[in-house]
Structure 1
Amino acid sequence: MRDDGGTGQDLVDTLLRWQQSGGVWRVLARHPTTVTVALLRCDAGEEVDRISSGDAAWMAFLADRDSGAD
């Protein structure tokens, strides 16, 4: 699991690039101070990485989303 130390917008951009490249992502856990997302292969199979952060931009982007399909 990683929090790249970048801004929440950097993490959102990473998530969007992942999706635009055909990858799948899914929210794994929501807590009052953090959200953790799994990055999955394009077939929604194997988990490749996780991103967890409590940055405001990250939390706002994921507030009404559970996956890249939302």
Structure 2
Amino acid sequence: MDVDRVAELQRWEDAGALWRVVSRTSGAVTVALLTCDGGEEVGRFTTDDRRLLEYVGRREGSDG
């Protein structure tokens, strides 16, 4: 099953929640999904999806 990680992060942000890059290589990124107050990690995924890598860019998280 293919997951649209870009849409997932956009929905996450639209809901007021945060995400943070916890690991990055030249070809993949690991993202932690955090509660709205940024205090608790509720999920995590690693992907090499080029669309997601472009969406995240050089940002360290949803807050900049």
Distance 2:53 2:14 in 1: 20
Alpha-carbon deviation of 1:52? 1.2
Q: Aligned to 1:13, what secondary structure does the other structure show?
A: helix
Q: Secondary structure at the match of 2:60?
A: coil
Aligned pair count? 64
The residue aligned with 1:5 is: 2
- Structure with the bigger RCO (C-alpha within 8 Å, sep 6+) is 1
Query: RMSD of the alignment, in Å?
Result: 1.3
Please, what TM-score do these two structures have when normalized by structure 2?
0.88
Partner of residue 42, structure 2: 48
Q: CA deviation at 1:46?
A: 0.9
Q: TM-score, normalised by structure 1?
A: 0.81
Q: 2:10 aligns with which of 7, 10, 16?
A: 16
1:35 pairs, out of 29, 32, 39, with 29
Q: 1:36 corresponds to which letter in structure 2? A: T
Identity %: 39
Structure 1's unaligned 5+ residue stretches are none
- Cα separation, 2, equivalents of 1:22 and 1:55: 24
Unaligned ranges ≥5, structure 2: none
Per-residue deviation, 1:64: 2.2
